[in-house]
C-alpha cells in the first residue's frame, strides 16, 4: 500500500521561514504535488515535483528526493494569509493520474 506522512500542525511567525516535510512509501512513484487548502475552500495547486531537486515559485519552493522518499515545502516571508492546511499528494505510475493525499499539515502563522 501507500503511506504518506506529514506533521499534523505547525506554528510559525509572520515574516519567518517554515519548512513542511512530507515522507512517502509507495510503489511506482511518479510525482509529488503540494496543495494549499484554506478552511472550507478548495485545495489550490502550489507545486509539482517529478525530478530530484528544488522548484522555486516566488515565496514558495518545493524539494524532492526520490531515493529518500522525501519532499518539503518551503514558505518564505510568511504572511497571515498563509495560515492554511498544506497537502502533500503522490501520483503513481499506472494509477490513472489519481492522487493519494497525506492528511495535511495545519499551519498557523502568528504575529
Q: Which chain residues interact with another protein by CB under 8 A?
A: 4, 30-31, 33, 35, 41-45, 48, 50, 87, 89, 91, 95-104
Nearer to another protein, 13 or 30 (CB): 30
Nearer to another protein, 41 or 110 (CB): 41
Minimum distance between the CB of residue 99 and another protein, rounded to whole angstroms?
6
Nearer to another protein, 51 or 111 (CB): 51
SS3 per residue for the chain = CCEEECCCEEEEECCCCEEEEEEEECCCEEEEEEEEECCCCCCEEEEEECCCEEEEECCEEEEEECCCCEEEEEECCCCHHHCEEEEEEEEECCCCCCEEECCCEEEEEEC
Amino acid at each position: 500500500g501507500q503511506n504518506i506522512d506529514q506533521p499534523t500542525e505547525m506554528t510559525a511567525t509572520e515574516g519567518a521561514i517554515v519548512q513542511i516535510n512530507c515522507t512517502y512509501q509507495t510503489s511506482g512513484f511518479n510525482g509529488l504535488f503540494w496543495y494549499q487548502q484554506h478552511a472550507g475552500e478548495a485545495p489550490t495547486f502550489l507545486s509539482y515535483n517529478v525530478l530530484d531537486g528544488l522548484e522555486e515559485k516566488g515565496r514558495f519552493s518545493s524539494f524532492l528526493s526520490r531515493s529518500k522518499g522525501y519532499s518539503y515545502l518551503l514558505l518564505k516571508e510568511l504572511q497571515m494569509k498563509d495560515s492554511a492546511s498544506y497537502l502533500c499528494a503522490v501520483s503513481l505510475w499506472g494509477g490513472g493520474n489519481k492522487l493519494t493525499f497525506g492528511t495535511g499539515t495545519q499551519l498557523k502563522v502568528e504575529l
